[in-house]
Amino acid sequence: MNKITEKGYLSENVVRMVIEAPDVAEKRKAGQFVVLMVDEKGERIPLTIVDSDVEKGTITLIFQVVGKTTTCLAEMNEGDSLFTLLGPLGHPTEIANFGTAVCVGGGVGIGVAYPVIKALAEAGNKVIPIIGARTKDILILEDEIRSISEELIVATDDGSYGVHGFVTNVLQNLIDSGEKIDIVFAIGPVPMMKFLCEVTRPYGIKTIVSLNPIMVDATGMCGACRVSVGGKTKFACVDGPEFDGHKVDFGLLMTRLQTYNNQEQTAMENYRCRHNDR
């Protein structure tokens, strides 16, 4: 059983959980994810592994409460066990010494960016993390990331903290300042990734994005997560989740993410967390 050993809120809507999963903890690499179910009637949802502790046999997940499943998950507490957890899935991030790597995380995507920043730093890169959020209160993992790289740049949309503006502006300014950037990792909301790719495209800077389409089995069996990359259909679960951002059809990703909007609303309206029934 996958027991929750720690749970806490990083901001009003963002939860950090440490979960027992010794096999996953041992095997997982930056960029990989797990699929979990809260209970027997639940959905299978993918979440990126943020960190792991091999000795304790645990993994760390960070998620934003957005729908029924994440709401239920957020209501679970230390000592509770998940119905299922499967992983590690997907290809790990391709880590090498690229030189200077900019790693942009937006919103809850900062959690996904964190292991990539860590792995890039360990591989000897000069890592410049850029993290952004709508406002100061919902900015996560600043201290953890600063402890890896002093180069950290923070931005908030409303100017309540750090640079006033979007992470795209920060990246543009960094390029304009003459910083030689060898690779960019962009992880966050789809529009953010899309616009970051537009910033780097004219300069030919390789830009890797981490895609988050809807998944069901997440082992390559169903094709729910198909994305278009360079005009070819790929399954994010087994071919990704990271792809060359300059080749990704973000419009398709956006529309496919909205496939079940009506049902998600119904699920929330009918919401009575079954976990509380127990």
Partner 1 sequence: MTDKKKKAEKLKIPRQSMPEQDAKVRSRNFNEVPLGYTKEQAVLEAKRCLQCKKPTCVAGCPVDVDIPGFIKLIAEEDFIGAAHKLKETNALPAICGRVCPQEDQCEKACILGKKGDSVAIGRLERFAADYERKSGNIMVPEVALPTGKKVAVVGAGPAGLTIAGDLVKLGHDVTVFEALHKAGGVLIYGIPEFRLPKNIVDAEVDYLEKLGVKIVTNAVVGRVKTVDELLDEGFDAVFLGVGAGAPVFMNIPGENLSGIYSANEYLTRSNLMKAYRFPEYDTPIIHGKNVAVIGGGNVAMDSVRTALRLGAENAYIVYRRTEVEMPARIEEVHHARDEGVQFKLLTNPVEYIGNEKGWVTGMKCIRMELGEPDESGRRRPVPIKDSEFVMDVDTVVVAVGTMSNPVIAATTPGLETNRWNYIVTKGETGETSRKGVYAGGDIVTGSATVILAMGAGRKAARAIDEYLRNKEQGTRNKDQG
The DSSP H or E segment spanning 266 is helix 261-269
**Beta bridge partners of residue 64, listed in sequence order:** 14
Q: Is 43 in the site for partner 1 (CB under 8 A)?
A: yes
Least distance CB 275 / partner 1 (angstroms): 12
In degrees and rounded to multiples of 5, residue 247 shows phi and psi of -110, -5
Q: Is 83 in the site for partner 1 (CB under 8 A)?
A: yes
Q: Is 161 in the site for partner 1 (CB under 8 A)?
A: no
Binding mask 19-38 for partner 1 (x = CB under 8 A): ----xx--x---------x-
Q: Is 16 in the site for partner 1 (CB under 8 A)?
A: no
Q: Is 190 in the site for partner 1 (CB under 8 A)?
A: no
**Neighbouring C-beta atoms of residue 177, cutoff 10 Å:** 7
| Residue list 127-146, contact with partner 1 (CB under 8 A) | none
Q: What angle do CA 138, 185, 63 make, to 5 degrees?
A: 35
Residue from 64, 69, 168, 210 in contact with partner 1 (CB under 8 A): 69
Reduced to 3 states, what is the DSSP secondary structure of residue 128?
A: strand
Q: Which is nearer to partner 1, 151 or 217 (CB)?
A: 217
Residue from 89, 102, 170, 211 in contact with partner 1 (CB under 8 A): 89
User: What radius of gyration do the chain's Cα atoms show?
Assistant: 18
Least distance CB 63 / partner 1 (angstroms): 15
Binding mask 218-237 for partner 1 (x = CB under 8 A): -xxxxxx-xxx----x----
Q: What angle do CA 126, 212, 96 make, to 5 degrees?
A: 25
Least distance CB 271 / partner 1 (angstroms): 9
The interface region with partner 1, picked from 7-15, 73-81, 200-208, 256-264 by CB under 8 A, is 256-264
Distance between CA atoms of residues 266 and 190, nearest Å: 24
Q: Amino acid identity of 115?
A: P
# of chain residues touching partner 1 (CB under 8 A): 42
What count of Cα atoms within 13 Å lies in the side-chain half-sphere of residue 110?
29
Binding mask 199-218 for partner 1 (x = CB under 8 A): -----------------xx-
Q: Which is nearer to partner 1, 150 or 269 (CB)?
A: 269
Least distance CB 233 / partner 1 (angstroms): 6
Q: Which is nearer to partner 1, 14 or 72 (CB)?
A: 72
For CA atoms 190, 192, 193, 194, the dihedral sign is positive
Q: In which region does residue 31 sit, left (phi positive, over 0), alpha (psi from -120 to 50) or beta (all else)? A: left
| Cβ partners under 8 Å of residue 112, min gap 6 | 48, 50, 62, 105, 187, 188, 210
Q: In the complex, which residues of this chain contact partner 1 (CB under 8 A)?
A: 23-24, 27, 37, 41-44, 68-69, 83-89, 216-217, 219-224, 226-228, 233, 238, 251-252, 255-256, 258-260, 263-264, 266-267, 270
